[in-house]
Amino acid sequence: MEEYNPWWFKEEHPKYTEWKEYAIKWIPLIIRHYDTEPFSLNFIVGPRQVGKTMSIMIYIHHVLLKRINPKAVFYFSCDEVSDYRELGEILDSYLKAKEEWHVKTAYIFLDEITFVEDWWRAIKSRIDLGKFRRDVIYISGSASIEILKQKERFPGRVGHGKEIYYLPMDFAEYVMHFSKLKIETTPVKEKERWLQKLKTLSVIEKKLGDIFLNYIETGGFPLAIRDKFEKGKITISSEKTYLDWIKNDWIKTGKNEKYMKEILSYILRARLAPVSWLKISKETSIRSPNTVASYLETLENLFIIKILYVITPEGKILYRKSKKIHVIDPFIYRVLSRYTRTPVYEEQIVESTVVGHLMRVAEVYYWKNKSEVDIIARINNELLGFEVKWGVKIWRKPRAFKVFLLDRRNIPKFLASINWLESSKKVIS
C-alpha cells in the first residue's frame, strides 16, 4: 500500500511527478467536480487512457494534500486485484491504519476497479457496518455499464455521491488550454445565448477553424495531444498504446477479438450510413444479430462508439429501425482506422465529433424519413436537430424538426461556445 501512497512519507506519486515533467500539461477542468462531502460514494467513469488516473493524482496533490492530513488520503490501483475478498483485505488494512493514525475523514480512491470480481461486495458490506460513515469514496473504471449497473447494489448507501463522466477533452476546453483565445462558454440549454455567440465569434472564425483542424487530428486524448504539441505529429507508439489498452479490455469482457475487428471495420466502411444488426451479421462472419448487438453494446460500454437510434417528431424512439454508429473521438478513429486498415474521411470524423460533444449534455438520436437530420438532441424537453455539413452535401431541411445547420464555419464556433462539462456530473439519487 505504501508504494501507492507516497504522500504518507512526504513524497510525490510517480504519476504526478511524470505529469510535472511533461512539456505540455494542463489541469483538467473536471477535477472541480471531484469535491464532495462525507459520506459519499462517487463513481468516475470514462474510456481508457483518457486521463482518469492522472486527474486523480492532480486532485490529490493540488487540492487534498493542501488542506488535509496526507494519511487521510488512500489510493489503490485495482488492476491486479482478483476479487472482492482481496479488495476487502486491502480496505481493512487501511481502515486499521486510519484508526491508529486518528484519521476521522478519509478520501479513498479505488482506481480501475472494473474487472475486480464482485468488487461491490467489499464496499457494500463495509458501508453497512458503518466503517465508511465519515469518508469519501471514489470508484473509477473504464466500462461505464459494468460499474454503474453495480451502483444499483447501493440503494440508500451513496450519501452525497455523484456519477462523474470523464470523457475525452472537449473542444471548448482544448481552446482554453492550447490557444490564447478567451471564450466564455454557455450551457447548451440557453439556446439564444449560444446562437448569439455564433455571430460574435465570427471575428475569430479563421483562428478557431485552424485550432479545430488540430483537434480533429488529436481528439481529446492526452497521448495524442502531447504528441502533436511536443513532436508535431501523433506517433504510432501512442496509437499502439491506446489500441493495446482497448484489446486488453476486450479480452477481459470475454469478447472474440476477430469478431470485434470485423464489426469495427464494418462500422468505418459504413461511413455513418444507417445499419441494422442483421445486415452486419450478413456482412461479417458473425451469424447472429444478437451477437452483433452484444459486441456493439460492449464497444459503447467502453466509450468507443455511440449508437444513435431513430426518433420521431413525436418523440418515439424506433429501436428496430437501422442505427447510426459513431466513433466518439477523432483519436479513436485514427487508431481504429490503422487497426482495421479501413480509411476514414474528414467529414465522417467531424460529424462524429459533434455527436461526441452533444452526447455529453443531451440524449442524442437521428431522424430519417423523406428527409434526414444527422443528430436530434433532446434539450430542455425539446427535440432540436443539428445537420453537420463539412464537405459537399445536398440536404433538404425537414419541416418536422427545428434544425440548426452546422457548416465548416459554424462547427468550431458552436463547439467552442458550449459548456460541455455541465452534465458530466450527476448527483446520485
- Taking Cα atoms as reference points, which of 286, 289, 283 lies closest to residue 269? 283
Taking a C-beta distance cutoff of 8 angstroms, is the pair 214, 415 a contact? no
The number of C-alpha atoms within 13 Å of 107 and in the hemisphere containing its C-beta is 19
Q: Over 70: is that where the pLDDT of 81 sits?
A: yes
Mean pLDDT of the region 116-133: 94
pLDDT number for residue 429: 34
Q: What is the pLDDT of residues 137-191, one digit of tens each?
A: 999 987 655 676 777 788 888 999 998 999 999 999 999 999 999 999 999 999 9
The CA-CA-CA angle for residues 223, 228, 230, to 5°, reads 90
Helix axis angle, 330-340 to 222-231, nearest 10°: 90
pLDDT number for residue 427: 44
φ, ψ of residue 239 in degrees (nearest 5): -60, -45
Question: Exposed, middle or buried: residue 20 (CB in 10 Å: 0-12, 13-18, 19+)?
Answer: exposed
Q: What is the pLDDT of residues 370-425, one digit of tens each?
A: 888 999 999 988 999 999 999 877 777 787 899 999 999 999 999 999 999 975 55
For cell 445547420, the residue is: 405
- Taking Cα atoms as reference points, which of 107, 75, 99 lies closest to residue 5? 75
Helix axis angle, 222-231 to 171-178, nearest 10°: 30
Grid cell for residue 418:
458550449
What span, in angstroms and rounded, lies between the C-alpha atoms of 403 and 382?
12
What span, in angstroms and rounded, lies between the C-alpha atoms of 218 and 234?
7
Other C-beta atoms closer than 10 Å to the C-beta of 34 total 23
What span, in angstroms and rounded, lies between the C-alpha atoms of 65 and 71?
9
Taking a C-beta distance cutoff of 8 angstroms, is the pair 281, 288 a contact? yes
Grid cell for residue 88:
476487502
Percent of the chain's residues with pLDDT above 90: 83
Contacts of residue 61, defined as CB under 8 A and 6 or more positions apart, other chains included, come to 7, 12, 13, 16
For 2-165, CATH number?
3.40.50.300
Q: Over 80: is that where the pLDDT of 41 sits?
A: yes
Distances (CA, A) of 361 to 62, 148, 368, 422: 28, 18, 22, 7
Q: List the chain domain ranges.
A: 2-165, 171-421
Alpha helices in 49-204 (DSSP H): 52-62, 84-100, 119-128, 144-150, 171-178, 191-200
What span, in angstroms and rounded, lies between the C-alpha atoms of 377 and 318?
15
What span, in angstroms and rounded, lies between the C-alpha atoms of 150 and 146?
7
Tell me whether strands 402-407 and 372-379 are parallel, antiparallel or unpaired: unpaired
Mean pLDDT of the region 15-44: 94
Grid cell for residue 187:
450551457
Mean pLDDT of the region 237-242: 93
- Taking Cα atoms as reference points, which of 363, 221, 223 lies closest to residue 304? 221
Average model confidence (pLDDT) across the chain = 93
Other C-beta atoms closer than 10 Å to the C-beta of 115 total 19
The CA-CA-CA angle for residues 152, 157, 161, to 5°, reads 85
H or E segment at 359? none
pLDDT number for residue 423: 58
Sign (positive or negative) of CA dihedral 32, 37, 42, 48? positive
428 pLDDT band, cuts 50/70/90, is: very low
pLDDT number for residue 108: 98
106 pLDDT band, cuts 50/70/90, is: very high
DSSP 92: H
